[in-house]
Amino acid sequence: MRTLVSPAQLRSGRGKAVYWLVFTVVMVLFLLAFVFPLYWAITGAMKAPAELVRTPPTLLPDQWHPDVWGESWERLNLLTYFGNTVLVALGAWLIQLAVDVPAAYALSKLRPVLGDKILALMLATLMVPASALLVPTYVTITDLPILGVNLINSPTAIWFPAAANAFNIYLLKRFFDQIPGELLEAAVLDGASQVRILVRIVLPISKPIIAVVSILAIVAAWKDFIWPLLVFPDPTRQTLSVALQRMEVDMPLNILLAGLVLASVPMVLLFLFFQRHVLAGLTAGSVKG
Amino acid sequence: MPSLKSSEAPASTGSREWPVEAPPAVKTTTRSRRKINDNLTAYGLLAAALVVFALFSWYPIVRGVLLSFQEVNFVDPPQWVGFDNFARLFADPLFATAWLNTLQFTAIALVLGFAVPFVTAVLLNELRHAKAFFRVAVYLPVMLPPVVVAMLWKWIYNPGPGLANAALGSVGLPESAWLDSSSTAMVSLVIVSTWANMGSTTLIYLAALQTIPGELYESAELDGAGLFKRLWHVTIPQTRFVLMVLLLLQVVATMQVFTEPYVMTGGGPEDSTVTVLLLLYRYAFTYNDFGSASAMSLLLLVALGIFAGLYLRLTRMRSED
């Protein structure tokens, strides 16, 4: 594909030299900026505490302490926090799908009375910055209207607010809109119920968008900090982010660093395995030109 | 839902008769019955979403506005206090500091967070090798939990044995106090936030760059446009829409910065990194003053709303020229 620099320019001797020079500079900068900090964290975790505070810092640990990983797992009680975070993320994911997929389908294909008004009200919530809702939503979950229950310290305090996600509904609806109506009409003629059509016909062809919404949901839940910080005052219920930040003060640095690396591993693996979907989610998130 | 099934049966038989010229009366009744059925099903499918939106989105929006004019202690019923909450905020010397700090953060974040990813994207778009590596590398920090990023960089910034000063030293630059000085703390936070988030903006720009038709560059070149002229007259106008939208989104996002100052500086040194959201958090969860915290949210909402409105208006006017 033709870009800023012409192919002819690139083929010339000088062009080639400049290209490889730029390539090398960019490569070195990328390694330093994005790969090195990760290397630094991983090797830092395996240094002895005394070595971590030495000036100038060492590139390679004098003495390797691979046992730090296990020690960190034990001392930071990571099993509990991983468990809590997985529970929060999986629940948020499943509930978002269970709530948003049927809603988007109804708005896209059944077009009920007042459907566009409802959609507009949902999309309008995207205009409200998340932090403006922090306090009123917190106040609301401490005493749910009508039900009168307090969701503090319960993962449902994360799950249900996460399901009120207009962006998911918008993405899903946009995809469902492209499914030809005749396909569904034929199923209706065969006497299939709408629920059956949704499960048997719509879901299987919507795998790409379901994958994108799923990844957005899981990553957002895993990365979130401020909301879990508010709703989990009980230390045994906290997610990794909240717990690591709380334990920062009284833990040796190498133990803490190991904890930081371990807490990131699932998201990094998720990215490496589902790159295509993660990046599709990114452009789905951006506005089309 | 057995009732649904049984009521759907006549509807479908009715439709099946359609081609065989069913009497008009039957046609309309079956059609309207099907319409009612579809509506019932639709609202059945929408029910859960309506409940969660009502409870966790629409109601809190209204409640946030109400709370701004109330005093709540969770024991007595809320008291209407008019603009008292706002008055309390304006009387707090930290209030102005927080807004100025936040504006400073946003301004630096725009310069860095706007220019760096764009230049990176333009460069990556020209490179023909190791494409996958560049994409993965630039996006990797985006996948890390922000708390992990903040804690990691706190250690990198450590004035004594920190990596940041070692890096400066290795290229012969003087050391910096980073987070420990009120003059550099905010910039240090912006660097972290840019590092952590530039992956997404870079890849969005890259996607936009790839939609530019190559012929535009070709004809510009035939007209004698050099590299920078082509960048200025082709690349930037062609990606203008994406650039403008991301600018808006970035301002909205950076005005809400919380995790970096909360985890890395706690607002210090000398309140130089107290942001609007950090102060809001303190009002709500340290002083238990939910009224003033809500008033602060409302002010943020209004400020961002005005900004977005003006911005969209200006950019629309510009693009209509």
Chain segment A196-252, per-residue pLDDT in tens = 899 999 999 999 999 999 999 999 999 999 999 999 999 999 999 999 999 998 899
Give the ranges where chain B is alpha helix by DSSP (H): 2-17, 24-53, 59-68, 84-91, 93-126, 131-143, 146-156, 163-170, 185-209, 214-222, 227-230, 236-238, 240-254, 259-260, 276-281, 290-320
Where are chain A's structural domains? 7-69, 77-283
Confidence check: pLDDT of A288 > 50: no
In this predicted model, what pLDDT tens digit does every residue of A146-181 receive, in sequence order? 888 899 999 999 999 999 999 999 999 999 999 998
Mutant choice from A134, A216, A276 vs B, greatest count of B C-beta within 10 A: A134
Model confidence at B21: pLDDT above 90? no
3-state per-residue secondary structure call for B190-230: HHHHHHHHHHHHHHHHHHHHCCCCHHHHHHHHHCCCCHHHH
Domain A77-283 top-level CATH class = mainly alpha
Quick check: A8 contacting B, CB < 8 Å?
no
Burial of B107 (0-12, 13-18, 19+ CB in 10 A): middle
What digits encode the pLDDT tens for the residues B201-243?
A: 999 999 999 999 988 998 898 888 888 889 999 999 999 888 9
* A52 pLDDT higher than 50: yes
Beta-carbon separation of B161 and A134 below 8 A: no
- In chain B, residues with a C-beta closer than 8 Å to the C-beta of A194 are 38, 41-42, 45
Higher pLDDT, B84 or A288: B84
Task: Identify the pLDDT of residue B23.
Answer: 52
The reply to whether A4 touches chain B by the CB within 8 Å rule is yes
Chain B residue nearest residue A163, CA to CA? B52
B71 beta partners: B79
Determine contact: A225 vs chain B, CB below 8 A: yes
pLDDT of residue B28: 61
Q: What is the pLDDT of residues B239-286, one digit of tens each?
A: 988 898 899 989 999 999 999 999 999 998 999 999 999 999 999 999
Selected residue with higher pLDDT from A281 and B305: B305
User: What's the average model confidence in pLDDT over A189-195?
Assistant: 84
Residue B60 has a pLDDT of 95
The reported pLDDT for the residue numbered B319 is: 65
Give the ipTM: 0.92
Q: Which of A135, A184, A198 to mutate to test the interface with B (most CBs of B within 10 A)?
A: A135
The yes-or-no verdict on residue B29 having pLDDT over 80 is: no
| A283 pLDDT more than 90 | no
Lowest mean pLDDT among A93-107, A141-155, B10-24, B269-283: B10-24
Q: Write out residues 76-135 of B within 8 Å (CB-CB) of A.
A: 122-130, 133-135
Give the distance from residue A143's alpha carbon to the nearest chain B alpha carbon, in angstroms. Answer: 10
H runs (alpha helix) in chain A: 7-11, 13-30, 36-45, 49-52, 68-75, 78-105, 115-124, 134-142, 156-163, 166-177, 181-189, 194-197, 203-205, 207-223, 226-231, 240-247, 253-273, 275-285
Average pLDDT over residues B120-149: 94
Distance from CA of A70 to the nearest CA of B (A): 19
Does the beta carbon of A56 lie under 8 angstroms from any beta carbon of chain B? yes
Please, which pLDDT band fits residue A289 given cuts at 50, 70 and 90?
A: very low
Residue the block writes with tokens 């050099």: B226
H or E stretch including A66? none
Q: Do A264 and B148 touch (CB under 8 A)?
A: yes
- The SS3 call for residue A83 is helix
Task: Band the pLDDT of B54: cuts 50, 70, 90.
Answer: very high
Grade residue B10 by pLDDT with cuts at 50, 70 and 90. Answer: very low
- Chain A residues with CB under 8 Å of B42 CB are 106-107, 110-112, 115, 194
Residues in B 189-228 with any Cβ partner in A closer than 8 A: 195, 200, 203-204, 207-212, 214-215, 217-218, 221, 227
Q: What is the arithmetic mean of pLDDT over A86-108?
A: 96
Q: Is A264 on the interface with B (CB under 8 A)?
A: yes
Question: Mind listing the pLDDT tens digit for each residue in A114-148?
Answer: 999 999 999 999 989 988 999 999 999 998 888 88
Mean pLDDT of chain B: 87
Q: Chain B: residue nearest A142 by CA?
A: B74
pTM to 2 decimal places: 0.88
Per-residue confidence band for B6, with pLDDT thresholds at 50, 70 and 90: very low
Q: A106, B41: Cβ pair inside 8 Å? A: yes
Q: What is the mean pLDDT of residues B43-51?
A: 94
Please give the pLDDT value at position A284: 76
Give the burial string for A214-240 (b: 16+ CB within 10 Å, else e): bbbbbbebbbbbbbbbbbbeeeebbbb
Size of interface A-B (CB pairs under 8 A): 308
For A249-276, what is each residue's pLDDT tens digit? Answer: 889 999 999 999 999 999 999 999 998 8
Asked if pLDDT for residue A72 goes beyond 90, the answer is yes
pLDDT confidence band for B318 (50 / 70 / 90): low
Q: How far apart are the CA of B182 and the nearest CA of chain A, in angstroms?
A: 22
Amino acid, single-letter form, for residue B218: E
Whether the CB-CB separation of B165 and B176 falls below 8 Å is answered with yes
Whether A4 and B230 lie within 8 Å, measured CB to CB = yes
Is B301's pLDDT higher than 60? yes
**Residue A160 has which token pair?**
């249900």
For the residues B143-150, what does the mean pLDDT come to? 96
A30 close contact with B: CB closer than 8 A: yes
CA distance A289 to chain B (A): 6
Instruction: Determine, for residues B1 and A121 on separate chains, whether the beta-carbon distance falls below 8 Å.
Output: no
Residues from chain B contacting residue A161 (CB–CB below 8 Å): 52, 56-57
For residue A103, what pLDDT is reported?
96
pLDDT at residue A170 in the model: 94
Q: Does A201 touch chain B (CB under 8 A)?
A: no
Residues of A in contact with B263 (CB under 8 A): 225, 245
Note the pLDDT tens digit of each residue in B76-91.
788 898 899 999 999 9
Alpha-carbon span B229 to B220, nearest angstrom: 9
Task: Give the lowest-confidence range in A252-256, A279-283, B58-62.
Answer: A279-283
Q: Which residues of B touch A105 (CB under 8 A)?
A: 45
Instruction: Assign B158 a pLDDT band (cuts: 50, 70, 90).
Output: confident
Decide if A135 touches B, using CB distance below 8 A. Answer: yes
Interchain pair A136, B63: CB under 8 A: yes
The token pair at B142 is: 């985006």
Q: Tell whether the model's pLDDT for residue B47 goes beyond 70.
A: yes
